[in-house]
């Protein structure tokens, strides 16, 4: 089985890439962070693919390189994403909105299109898993711009699931609550800033990447062969509270 993981140099993408390789997949990791990318690929003997998910050419070239070097794609895990700053909607610079839309929405569209097209052409089905966010269902002051992009990602997940189902291609997403990764490290370093995030979670702690990996592997695998179009929260129960 061949898997492509975008955001593979990052916390969540990196952990998923390592786990897929551990399950015997041939894995390509794609990212704009070339140093992190090289380090991660070397760590488990994967293929490093330079890719900017905002750029159609870069996405198509990266997908083609993966297929040329590893074979037809069975799995895409799309974990590339940015938060794009934080701030209330009334004062958030439009540049922050544009930046987060470009990576999280345009990027999800482009990678789904390129991988979907390749999977349809290969006629062997496949599984796509997007990394969304619990924030797509529940607002947090200061993150409205980011949450809007993850809600768009959920909509793209459902549309792609419907359109690709006749080809045996499943499309799902997971929606984590806060996860300890480089993305959140700065925000969570201050105990006073961290406490309100933990208090929202009935299971009483932030997630780590090990909490996400088994569910993503399940959705990527044939064990989930009758599951498509879902956006599954992995949030310690956070969405139970309003």
Ligand X SMILES: NC(=O)c1ccc[n+]([C@@H]2O[C@H](COP(=O)([O-])OP(=O)(O)OC[C@H]3O[C@@H](n4cnc5c(N)ncnc54)[C@H](O)[C@@H]3O)[C@@H](O)[C@H]2O)c1
Cβ neighbours of residue 112 closer than 8 Å, sequence gap 6 or more? 76, 78, 128, 130, 156, 160, 171
Residue 163 appears among annotated catalytic residues: no
Say how far apart CA 143 and CA 148 lie, in whole Å. 9
Q: Out of 103, 118, 161, 169, which residue is the one contacting ligand X (CB under 6 A)? A: 103
Say how far apart CA 228 and CA 206 lie, in whole Å. 27
Say how far apart CA 239 and CA 191 lie, in whole Å. 23
Say how far apart CA 138 and CA 186 lie, in whole Å. 22
Cβ neighbours of residue 67 closer than 8 Å, sequence gap 6 or more? 2, 73, 118
What is the footprint of ligand X within residues 154-213 (CB under 6 A)?
176, 178-179, 181-184
In the complex, the smallest distance separating the C-beta of residue 151 from ligand X, rounded to whole angstroms, is 12
Q: Out of 13, 46, 84, 236, which residue is the one contacting ligand X (CB under 6 A)? A: 13
- Where does this chain touch ligand X (CB under 6 A) — which range of 11-19, 67-75, 91-99, 192-200? 11-19
In the complex, the smallest distance separating the C-beta of residue 26 from ligand X, rounded to whole angstroms, is 20
Is residue 54 part of the contact set for ligand X (CB under 6 A)? yes
Q: Out of 33, 44, 99, 151, which residue is the one contacting ligand X (CB under 6 A)? A: 33
Closer of 131 and 161 to ligand X (Cβ): 131
CA distances from 202 to 107, 174, 199, 236, 239 (A): 33, 19, 7, 6, 9
Given the residues 76, 127, 146, 212, the one annotated as active site: 146
List of residues contacting ligand X (CB under 6 A): 6-7, 9-13, 31-33, 36, 51-54, 79-82, 103, 107, 131, 133, 176, 178-179, 181-184
């Amino acid at each position: 089985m061949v898997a492509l993981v975008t955001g593979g140099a990052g916390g969540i993408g990196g952990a998923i890439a390592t786990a897929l390789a551990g399950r015997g997949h041939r894995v390509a990791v794609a990212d704009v962070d070339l140093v992190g990318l090289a380090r991660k690929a070397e760590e488990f003997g994967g293929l490093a693919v330079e890719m900017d998910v905002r750029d159609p050419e870069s996405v198509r070239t990266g997908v083609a390189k993966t297929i040329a070097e590893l074979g037809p794609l069975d799995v895409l895990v799309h974990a590339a994403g940015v938060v794009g700053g934080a701030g209330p909607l009334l004062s958030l610079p439009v540049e922050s909105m544009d930046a987060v839309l470009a990576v999280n929405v345009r990027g999800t569209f482009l990678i789904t299109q390129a991988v979907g097209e390749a999977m349809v052409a290969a006629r062997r089905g496949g599984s796509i898993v997007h990394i969304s966010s619990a924030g797509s269902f529940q607002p947090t002051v200061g993150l409205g711009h980011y949450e809007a992009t993850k809600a768009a990602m959920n909509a793209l997940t459902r549309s792609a699931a419907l359109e690709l189902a006749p080809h045996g291609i499943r499309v799902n997403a997971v929606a984590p609550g806060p996860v300890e990764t480089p993305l959140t490290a700065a925000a969570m370093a201050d105990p006073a800033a961290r406490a309100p995030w933990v208090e929202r979670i009935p299971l009483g702690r932030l997630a780590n990447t090990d909490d996400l990996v088994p569910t993503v592997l399940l959705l990527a695998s044939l064990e989930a062969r009758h599951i498509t179009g879902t956006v599954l929260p992995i949030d310690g129960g956070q969405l139970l509270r309003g």
